[in-house]
Amino acid sequence: MSEQQQGERQEPGVVVAGAGMAGVQTAVALREQGFTGGITLIGAEPHQPYDRPPLSKAILLGNAEGSAFDVDFEALDIELRLGCEVIGVRAEAHELDTEAGPFRYDTLVIATGAEPIALPGTEATPGVHLLRTLDDAARLRPVLAEQHDIAVVGAGWIGAEFATAARAAGCAVTVIEAADRPLAGSLPAEAAAPMAAWYAEGGVRLITGARVAGVEGGSVLLTDGRRIPAGAVVVGIGARPATAWLKDSSIDIGPDGAIAADAYLRTSLPDVYAVGDCASFPSARYGRRLLVHHWDNALQGPRTVATNVLASRLDEPPQGYDPVPYFWSEQFGRFVQYAGDHSVASTTLWRGDPADRDWSMLWLRDGALVALLAVGRPRDLAQGRKLIQSGVPLDPQRAADPAIPLKAASL
């Protein structure tokens, strides 16, 4: 940037810590909403900022080389600092500390995302992999190409997606889950139970109620003494907010490890916002604090942050953030979508037969839809999401009839 351009700045600058979806979208949204100050986007990885969902699909299978965001950072006058690890925040100095030195900010947006949880005792074990970054996917591609026997630890969303990709590559796959069913941490038993059959249908061996004691000699050793042969082990047992670097910053961190943002995505420090996988926020709709580790939250939240950064400079009221959480997964030939929060529901309705390929499950509170799981029924999801937002009551008999459009069940 030229000295003339710097002199033309009419607004103080914003530093964004994190160059994933949430960080990139924050920078882009600021420009789209008319912010003319300096924007610096800092990323820990050396790669051009990229989207993560293709990592467990096209990139992993070698059908794509990358998933860089289609953003012209130079044209938007967004300065990129890549391969730069953040290590702390000093609020009194308005400085973000990094391995490359401090960055002074007038507004800081923390969007450092989440990091995968490693299987204890296997962090340095050869042949044990995580799948979160572009480099992780690059290391796993030749493993799939060589058609190793693969053990996947964890039958959550990422475990199911990786197992699907590994089977498509011709690998023999065993998935090991500590709970008694897949997705035990995400869905209630009645919703997740039908999904167990998908594994066998996809040619994947699923072992539930089993805990891993260790990985040794090309095998996964279970606590009951069984050994599962594995040329490679992929761990998908969850992720935690990437916030350890903030422990000395005075930013409020919740018991879930996430930054405790307010309803406007502001942190406990002045001029510091948090968005995406690293931050929780209070939901008036669901009456509790939400931590949403999904792509849509990292897309929607930045728009609110950008709006509020500008509002603070114009002395305008901030905009609240209370979305209907949404995510999707492609696994075993099915497109699975979920919207809302079923934990507050009092009534459950089936919409179709879970033994079939296409069905939905509805959760209601006081007659209104609060959450929806749709398997192969994208229209149900689209209509249900709007119904959740509106809060209108439903006729339960009509809502449970898969032949009736869900929107036609509103009263």
Residues 6+ apart with CB under 8 A from 92: none
- Residue-level pLDDT at 12: 61
Looking up tokens 């074990």, which residue turns up?
Answer: 125
> Whole-angstrom Cα distance, residue 168 to residue 145?
10
Q: What is the pLDDT along the chain (411 residues), one digit of tens a residue?
A: 333 333 344 456 999 999 999 999 999 999 999 999 999 999 999 999 999 888 777 778 777 667 899 999 999 999 999 999 999 999 999 999 999 999 999 999 999 999 999 999 888 888 999 999 999 998 999 999 998 899 999 999 999 999 999 999 999 999 999 999 999 999 999 999 999 999 999 999 999 999 999 998 789 999 999 999 999 999 999 999 999 999 989 999 999 999 999 999 999 999 999 999 999 999 999 999 999 999 999 999 999 999 999 999 999 999 999 999 999 999 999 999 999 999 999 999 999 999 999 999 999 999 999 999 999 999 999 999 999 999 999 999 999 999 999 999 999
In the DSSP assignment, the letter for residue 277 is G
Structure-token pair, residue 140 = 């796993």
> Whole-angstrom Cα distance, residue 115 to residue 174?
24
Mapped onto helix, strand or coil, the DSSP state of residue 24 is: helix
- Residue-level pLDDT at 65: 67
Residues 6+ apart with CB under 8 A from 136: 55, 129, 130
- Residue-level pLDDT at 3: 36
The domain spans of the chain are: 3-115+240-314, 118-237, 333-409
Neighbours of 184 (CB within 10 A): 16
333-409, superfamily in CATH?
FAD/NAD-linked reductase, C-terminal dimerisation domain (3.30.390.30)
> Whole-angstrom Cα distance, residue 5 to residue 60?
42
Looking up tokens 């912010």, which residue turns up?
Answer: 35
> Whole-angstrom Cα distance, residue 48 to residue 69?
8
333-409 matches 118-237 in CATH topology: no
Domain over 118-237 is classified CATH 3.50.50.60: yes
Residues 6+ apart with CB under 8 A from 404: 398
The answer to whether 57 and 335 are in contact (CB under 8 A) is: no
Structure-token pair, residue 370 = 């609060």
Give Cα 235 to chain centroid, integer Å. Answer: 16
- Residue-level pLDDT at 269: 96
DSSP output for 98-134: ETTEEEE-SEEEE---EEEPPPTT-TT-TTEE--SSH
Give Cα 311 to chain centroid, integer Å. Answer: 27
pTM (2 decimals)?
0.93
Domain over 3-115+240-314 is classified CATH 3.50.50.60: yes
